[in-house]
Structure 1
């Protein structure tokens, strides 16, 4: 009851690297569990800073349901200016709680967990929303940071391997670094482009940027799949011209995401086609005559599911660090 473990970043990274296919399947199951109403996923809470409007720290509490017995919270900071010094934009911790007692049982380094669940979500959507596959097609990645690298790795794990990769980033050294990563790990040619328009014309476009406001104003074409992971790249008219698949409608339509701006522009949610879980369950079928945009807000239940997976593997392998006497009092009297 009173055990408490720390799982450091190196251990988290190793578990995730060796379990990408398992993580994709886990995200699939968790989406379906959430769609069935068997989880609790409250609104995220944003701590903002008046002098640093581009920075925030977000709390994502969640509960995976009585069967799992896992509750918890992710506390994740997004400070885009970190990238100027070469540091990652995001840092995070995840605290897991026992459902029976409420006591915390572990604290995990969670930037890697957050990145993995995001990437697995993108890969699951890529596999589901383009059932014809990727042979001979081009995937363009707009934004070349940690999230983008992880998405590419998870696309490989999901067997979403294109005929070629195209990378665009305003910071060319980052873009070239992702190109080199793809050349070293991928199974297809990769190239960097300074032309955003060239990237936007690809068969599949992945957005993994730090954009705060829309800058893409030209609608996509039928047959294109857009993995809109960074959520704020597309102008409302682009969203309205597409079939829109979200992870959770209420969560996604807030915080000035592109779908939220589309809702504000129209006063309606009629542009929302459905959720990814709805597609997975066969309840939603996107229209092939229109482009498809997947916009995931990011659900705390995914962090819990992946975090619990990492904790179980770390405990099994003896790489979780037990903290004796973490709790100051273990008896009422």
Structure 2
């Protein structure tokens, strides 16, 4: 068994490889060639423990995640965890992976797969709303899906936008990175907009003229009462794409529009279904499009398989002797 740190995970697989692995997992989801028990959610005082298992043909895995909201006061991240990957034939654990790093790269890849298939081909400017960890990884992955020349960042806290700008400028030296003073400024300059916030209310203006013709990726809303997108967006959409049917029960960006009649049930489609049906993407890429991700354990297992097998080949990780 090997232990893989954040550094190992980033070295093990390119962004392009991760996009391919996640796209394959979306197709696997449609074929139902996996077993994903309901995740265990435990609330203890103000903290949360999540256990997320999934079984596939070659491997199964369980991600253990903790969310401790008071951690920043202790200079500790809110999100911590670890992924255990097991051989499906023997049950033997083969790898332990850093949980936050795995979550970051696979979530970013999910968003980028939607960019690959739904965003206009000539899109070259991406906007990031929310300058946290996920903002960095989403911007990085987006550059693997399109020829991105400019990234615009907006956050309620300018110092966070500035820090992310510096980090992205170092990681992506060939891309111009800008700090937007207002969300409206970001929208006027970009073709792809990714929201990765903890906001309870929409972070975009309720104005169709500022939203039309873009591809939107929603990452932040993971509770029924949490929304990042305004009513105006749904009047522009023919279809809303989701990663898993769990979004219908988990995300306010789907639940609220359905409840209020802004969105009809037959307008919702999984991205995997869109990919497996093999329809022409040319027309869709000219439309206003929206992809909402809530994540699932299948992504963790498929991403971990890629990272583990590449790590063994490259000699990465620390061997743990049983």
Q: TM-score, normalised by structure 2?
A: 0.84
Aligned pair count? 310
| 1:57 shift after superposition | 3.2
Name the residue aligned to 1:177.
163
Structure 2 CA distance for partners of 1:142 and 1:86, relative to 1, 3 Å: farther
2:195 is aligned, of 207, 216, 219, to 207
2-side partners of 1:42 and 1:86: how far apart?
34
Structure 2 CA distance for partners of 1:234 and 1:207, relative to 1, 3 Å: same
1-side partners of 2:212 and 2:187: how far apart?
13
2:53 is aligned, of 45, 48, 61, to 61
**Mean CA deviation greater in 175-184 or 7-16:** 7-16
Contact residue 151 and residue 177 of structure 2 kept, 8 A: yes
Q: Does 2:133 align with 1:146?
A: yes
1:319 is aligned, of 311, 316, 321, to 316
| 1:156 shift after superposition | 1.7
2-side partners of 1:8 and 1:179: how far apart?
24
Name the residue aligned to 1:274.
269
1-side partners of 2:20 and 2:247: how far apart?
22
| 1:61 shift after superposition | 1.3
Name the residue aligned to 1:197.
184
Q: Deviations over 1:159-213 (max 9, x none)?
A: 3414x32111122221112222333314343221231233344422110112245
Q: Does 2:26 align with 1:37?
A: no
Name the residue aligned to 2:144.
157
- Structure 1, unaligned runs of 5 or more: 326-333
Name the residue aligned to 1:70.
59
Name the residue aligned to 1:107.
96
Structure 2 CA distance for partners of 1:290 and 1:94, relative to 1, 3 Å: same
Structure 2 CA distance for partners of 1:103 and 1:275, relative to 1, 3 Å: same
SS in 2 for 1:190: strand
2-side partners of 1:235 and 1:73: how far apart?
31
Contact residue 199 and residue 228 of structure 2 kept, 8 A: no
Higher helix proportion (structure 1 or 2): 2
1:234 is aligned, of 223, 228, 236, to 228
Structure 2 CA distance for partners of 1:57 and 1:263, relative to 1, 3 Å: farther
Structure 2 CA distance for partners of 1:132 and 1:312, relative to 1, 3 Å: closer
1-side partners of 2:197 and 2:6: how far apart?
23
2-side partners of 1:92 and 1:239: how far apart?
35
Contact residue 66 and residue 80 of structure 2 kept, 8 A: yes
Structure 2 CA distance for partners of 1:267 and 1:223, relative to 1, 3 Å: closer
1-side partners of 2:87 and 2:42: how far apart?
26
Name the residue aligned to 2:213.
223
SS in 2 for 1:253: helix
Contact residue 104 and residue 134 of structure 2 kept, 8 A: yes
